[in-house]
């Protein structure tokens, strides 16, 4: 698992807890949290011992590792430039592909697929159920 996908695990775990909180036991939740944190902690400790930054190369402006330039670690060439663009990013990305990916012939394919999947659900008012 890539470390930047950890946020999806947190969201899914929160949803699971929200829908099943009556049948959960504290011991089960603690085991789940430990199983989630342990692999990340091992990786973070190893990277910290080598570079001085547990999330290297990100947040180097906080940890100031000598192995990477200081800065936020964000690449300003890609992604939305404002909050409004972020909210409508799948639609915006279909028409302006310069900030969605490199110069490939399929730059807007992901945005098109996302919008075509979500549009029928939005039009019918369908709810997503688990």
Sketch the domain layout of the chain as residue ranges. 3-63, 83-124
Average pLDDT, stretch 74-99?
Answer: 77
Higher pLDDT, 4 or 20: 20
Flag whether pLDDT at 127 surpasses 80. Answer: no
Cis peptide before 2 (omega within 30 of 0): no
Tell me the pLDDT band of 129, cut-offs 50, 70 and 90.
Answer: low
Helix 26-51 with 6-20: angle, nearest 10 deg: 170
Which pLDDT score, from 0 to 100, does residue 109 have? 61
Which pLDDT score, from 0 to 100, does residue 36 have? 81
In eight-state DSSP terms, residue 101 is S
Flag whether pLDDT at 73 surpasses 70. Answer: no
Flag whether pLDDT at 105 surpasses 60. Answer: no
**What pTM does this model have?**
0.44
Which pLDDT score, from 0 to 100, does residue 46 have? 92
């Amino acid at each position: 698992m890539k470390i930047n996908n950890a946020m999806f695990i947190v969201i899914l775990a929160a949803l699971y807890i929200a829908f099943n909180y009556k049948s959960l036991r504290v011991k089960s939740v603690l085991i789940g949290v430990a199983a989630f944190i342990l692999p990340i902690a091992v990786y973070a400790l190893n990277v910290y011992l080598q570079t001085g930054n547990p999330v290297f190369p990100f947040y180097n402006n906080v940890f100031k590792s000598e192995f990477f330039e200081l800065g936020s670690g964000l690449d300003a060439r890609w992604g939305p430039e404002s909050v409004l663009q972020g909210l409508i990013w799948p639609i915006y990305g279909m028409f302006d592909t310069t900030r969605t990916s490199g110069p490939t012939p399929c730059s807007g394919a992901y945005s098109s697929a996302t919008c075509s999947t979500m549009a029928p659900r939005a039009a019918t008012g369908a709810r997503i159920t688990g």
